[in-house]
Amino acid sequence: MNQSFDQSHTGNSVHYEIAITAEEARVGTRKTLSRQGTRLEVNIPAGVLTGSTVKLSNALQVTDGRPGDILVKIKVGERKKVSAEVAGVIEISDGNFEQEVSKSSVPVVVDFWAPWCGPCRMIAPVTEKLAKEYQGQLKFCKLNVDDNPQMASKYQVMSIPMLLFFKDGKVVDTVVGAVPEQALIPKIEGLL
């Protein structure tokens, strides 16, 4: 899915922001939100306006193992303009890989992953944290290799998680496996 997420915490709830197009707002859409390696479906009703909130009741029980809701604030507009500015990991696909990664005006880190992959779930919180810390300087994306075999094949992804670091649409660095945050920071700084 092509969307942007911004995350903040308030009490027993977590707040995200999803950017959708005007057309998606008009007809309604379904988006996938990824948190702690768990994917949640967000049903966005037709006619939604910027600033509207969709509540995922007790979703934190599923993602974090604790009570609480996920509140998703909707931002209607062009995703292309929002995606590099909003903190969070953007789910991408074979279909929008070129637009989100190859044509990005900022460096991009792409996490090739799959829902069944334990190490992928381990590195997800690290990339979510770094996406927030480096907001506006680079973009973090994730691509499910099971659903998007074309790009996984193109970049010869044999083991996951695999992080590819892109600058000006070209791969400049690679990390395979669930590595600690400290191992990623020098590679990220090298992109900037």
The residues that are catalytic are 117, 120
DSSP string, the chain: ------EEEETTEEEEEEEE-HHHHHH-EEEEEEETTEEEEEEE-TT--TT-EEEETTHHHHHTSS--EEEEEEEES-HHHHHTTS-SEEEE-TTTHIIIIIT-SS-EEEEEE-TT-HHHHHHHHHHHHHHHHTTTT-EEEEEETTT-HHHHHHTT--SSSEEEEEETTEEEEEEES---HHHHHHHHHHH-
